[in-house]
Structure 1
């Protein structure tokens, strides 16, 4: 909880769910490979929509996508695609659904080769959090462009530079909390 003297990032001031997400999760360095993958997939579903829509549907997404267990999602077939496209609790976009299933297969292929998805994600910053000044909002960066290009080369979809940058912020690879936000120095 914030006190009267504490401030949070302006985007998190209105909605209670957004506040809770900001205060407990956004920008916290995430090293769990499954969670990194889940957040990347959710950011892909967010493309063209407001994050609050995805946040409100997150539990339904988790249920529909087998807890975002990549091994389970990688085995999804056409019946699962049809089931997902009929599920009103999630964003029903065929391309995003298929991209998530393909993304699970890529994740599993990486694991089979002994490549940790977490190590891969953090390799772009040598395991360090990038701390931006917290004075301006940007939509992408040269680093998000580089990561996007690499992810696309691996076969991931819905990983353009803007989506990747939002994901980097969400999982704490980048600390973009506002300079006066009480969470800025918390991680």
Structure 2
């Protein structure tokens, strides 16, 4: 941070909010995104249902903005039985048609059917330790230390490997970019900018 006359200039890529905290531009203005950034994004999620929900929402987000998915999350939770894998795995053709008629969610047949199939794959994984254990087994030995938004990668060797591992277990819509976004969201990596007030807040990684 530096001073320009009387104005305090935030580090590049960050915006200083009225509360004095530094956030990336995407989380600086919209109240819903700011709350998500401050309280949820990057915090550890280690339970099966939580990981399944976030994996599902990341798949639905493909090609759309995260803000769109976040605004629809309550409707997604209602439509998909709060992302209980056992319940979703039992969905049949009538449920697919019901979901295609639900204006509260993203009505994409391939993504809906993928979520149902991924729920079944999640249930099957319990015999091998479970979805959360598998996903977290790809935690890298170090996390990025981005100072600028341009420094944040969109994939990693671990996200590529995780994508391949999940596909072998029957999951779909789990490409390397989507899996890196999942790893960011649930705290496996910390891609908060170094000067952000959230950097190092997960307890998984130190601030620098």
State if a TM-score over 0.5 links the two structures. Answer: yes
| Aligned match of 2:10 | none
Higher normalized contact order (CA 8 Å, seq sep 6+, divided by chain length): 1
Alignment of 1:65-144 (within 5 A): 65-111=80-126, 113-125=127-139, 130-135=142-147, 136-144=151-159
For 2:152 and 2:128, the matched residues in 1 are separated by 36
**2: CA distance, partners of 1:169 / 1:108:** 24
> 1:168 is matched with which residue?
183
Give the TM-score taking structure 2 as reference length.
0.84
CA positional deviation for 1:6? 2.3
Comparing both structures, which one devotes a greater share of its residues to helix?
A: 1
Whether the 8 Å contact between 2:144 and 2:152 is mirrored in structure 1 is no
- DSSP-derived class of the 1:8 partner: strand
Unmatched 5+ residue regions in structure 1? none
Runs of 4 or more off by more than 6 Å in structure 1?
A: none
- Structure 2: runs of 5+ lacking an equivalent: 1-16, 203-208
Bigger radius of gyration: 2
Q: How much does 1:11 deviate?
A: 2.0
Structure 1 residues 20, 4: closer, same or farther in 2, change over 3 A?
closer
How far apart are the structure 2 equivalents of 1:54 and 1:5? 28
Q: CA RMSD in A?
A: 1.5
In 1, the alpha carbon distance for the partners of 2:175 and 2:128 equals: 26
Superposed displacement of residue 154, structure 1: 1.2
The alignment of Structure 1 onto Structure 2 pairs a total of residues equal to 183
Q: How far, CA to CA, are the matches of 1:90 and 1:138 in structure 2?
A: 29
Distance (whole Å) between structure 2 residues aligned to residue 30 and residue 43 of structure 1: 14
